């Protein structure tokens, strides 16, 4: 009798919580969109600078996000009641800093190098949380993070070339890599700051921080324009790269955010992060389709990074299952 009841309960649970193919597809689509961003942006940089691309990208994204936020959560949600200072800091330091540094850095380096650095953002966040007084990282996780950073070092240093040699032969690329690293760090700061915006939806956080970021990006763009680092785009240039700019704003920011949030809620953060590790693979694949050739160090370093991140994800998955079993039998 009890066995039949247990079987019936298991069947009911399976019907209520089926494997979320939809969640996987939503999350994977977001990763595909993000993986294609850097190659698309790099192509636009043949005629547009990183400052201008970032400005146009965020201007379009902010307009769309604010409209959607107002329709879904009401006009009152457009005001950062009691949290204006935190929203401003997150937007200016985190989102504007990340967007500008990554895209200006991308104009100096290669997309396949930039995406490997960006892939370290979750690892950098975990380390920052640990150093900030969070739970200590497991030894296996530490080993995986060290391996991942080692893989990035292989990519950035062209397989271990000396710093002096890199400065002499590839100063622009090295500067671009450094800017992307700073941009990834700025996004880590954004992640940690927005964790304090409890009670707000991810849509509201994204829309309001993007709005404050846009103001900072505009000021930086004006300064770069005055110093010759940015150029006022011609209408013909904007039309020529219109679909690329639309992709970066509408698909890369708005659609990517909605798809990621909807998918990760269905499949859980561990599964979502596992799929996110595919982003470098997508970028490398797209660059290969565009006819790019890769250094052996880039392929080796990328493989080390992806393998280390996936290994840590699988370890965390096993640890979570053990903890759940221990709780169930306690």
pLDDT, tens only, 86-110: 999 999 999 999 999 999 999 999 9
- pLDDT recorded at residue 169: 67
Position 220 confidence tier, pLDDT thresholds 50, 70, 90: very high
- Say what the pLDDT of residue 329 is: 64
* 156: CB partners within 8 A, 6+ apart: 113, 117, 174, 177, 301
Q: Pick the range with the lowest mean pLDDT from 7-11, 166-170, 193-197, 230-234.
A: 7-11
pLDDT digits (tens, 9 = 90+) for 75-86: 999 999 889 999
Distance from C-alpha of 146 to C-alpha of 159, rounded to nearest angstrom: 16
Cβ contact 82:142 at 8 Å: no
Please give the residue that has the higher pLDDT: either 13 or 209: 209
Q: What is the pTM of this model?
A: 0.84
Q: What is the mean pLDDT of the chain?
A: 86
pLDDT > 60? residue 3: no
Q: Is the pLDDT of residue 150 over 70?
A: yes
The mean pLDDT of 301-319, rounded to a whole number, is 89
For residue 64, pLDDT beyond 50: yes
**Residue 3: both structure tokens together:** 């066995």
Percentage of the residues of the chain whose pLDDT score is greater than 70: 91
The predicted model gives 135-161 an average pLDDT of 86
What is the pLDDT at residue 253? 87
pLDDT at 324 over 70: yes
Mean pLDDT of 259-275: 82
Return the pLDDT at 84.
Answer: 93
Domain residue ranges of the chain, discontinuous segments joined by +: 23-329
Are the CB atoms for 58 and 165 separated by under 8 Å? no
**pLDDT reported for residue 330:** 60
The per-residue pLDDT for 322 is 82
**CA torsion through residues 228, 229, 232, 237, sign:** positive
C-beta contacts of 262-268 below 8 A and 24+ residues apart: 262/23, 262/26, 263/22, 263/23, 263/24, 263/25, 263/26, 263/27, 263/28, 263/29, 263/30, 264/23, 264/27, 265/23, 266/20, 266/22, 266/23, 266/26, 266/27, 267/20, 267/23, 267/24, 267/27
Determine which helix (DSSP H) or strand (DSSP E) holds 49, and give its type and residue range: none
- Higher local confidence (pLDDT), 273 or 146: 146
Average pLDDT over residues 1-7: 45
Provide the 3-class DSSP secondary structure of residue 74.
coil
When pLDDT is averaged across residues 212-239 and rounded to a whole number, the result is 94
User: Looking at 65-74, 293-302, 320-329, which range is the least confident one?
Assistant: 320-329
Q: Look at 203 and 269; give whichever has higher pLDDT.
A: 203
Structure tokens at 25: 């597809």
């Amino acid at each position: 009798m009890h066995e039949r009841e247990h079987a019936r309960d298991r069947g009911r649970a399976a019907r209520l919580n089926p494997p979320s193919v939809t969640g996987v597809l939503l999350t994977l689509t977001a990763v595909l969109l993000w993986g294609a961003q850097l190659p698309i942006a790099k192509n636009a940089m043949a005629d547009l600078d990183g400052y201008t691309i970032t400005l146009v990208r965020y201007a379009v994204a902010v307009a769309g996000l604010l409209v959607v936020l107002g329709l879904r959560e009401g006009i009152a949600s457009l005001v950062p009641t009691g949290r204006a200072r935190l929203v401003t800091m997150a937007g200016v330091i985190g989102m504007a800093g990340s967007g500008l540094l990554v895209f200006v850095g991308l104009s100096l380096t290669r997309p396949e190098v930039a995406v490997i650095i960006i892939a370290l953002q979750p690892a950098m966040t975990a380390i920052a949380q640990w150093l900030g007084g969070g739970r200590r990282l497991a030894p296996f996780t530490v080993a995986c993070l060290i391996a991942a950073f080692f893989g990035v070092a292989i990519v950035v240093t062209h397989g271990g070339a000396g710093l002096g040699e890199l400065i002499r032969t590839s100063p622009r690329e090295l500067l671009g890599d450094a800017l992307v690293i700073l941009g990834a760090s700025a996004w880590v700061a954004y992640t940690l700051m927005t964790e304090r915006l409890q009670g707000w939806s991810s849509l509201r956080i994204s829309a309001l921080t993007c709005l404050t970021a846009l103001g900072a990006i505009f000021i930086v763009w004006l300064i770069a324009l005055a110093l010759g680092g940015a150029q006022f785009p011609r209408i013909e240039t904007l039309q020529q790269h219109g679909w690329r700019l639309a992709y970066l704003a509408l698909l890369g920011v708005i659609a990517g955010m909605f798809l990621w949030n909807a998918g990760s809620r269905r499949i859980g953060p561990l599964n979502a992060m596992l799929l996110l590790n595919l982003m470098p693979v997508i970028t490398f694949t797209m660059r290969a389709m565009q006819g790019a050739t890769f250094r052996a160090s880039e392929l080796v370093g990328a493989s080390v990074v992806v393998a280390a991140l996936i290994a840590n994800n699988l370890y965390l998955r096993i640890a979570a299952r053990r903890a759940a079993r221990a709780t169930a039998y306690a």
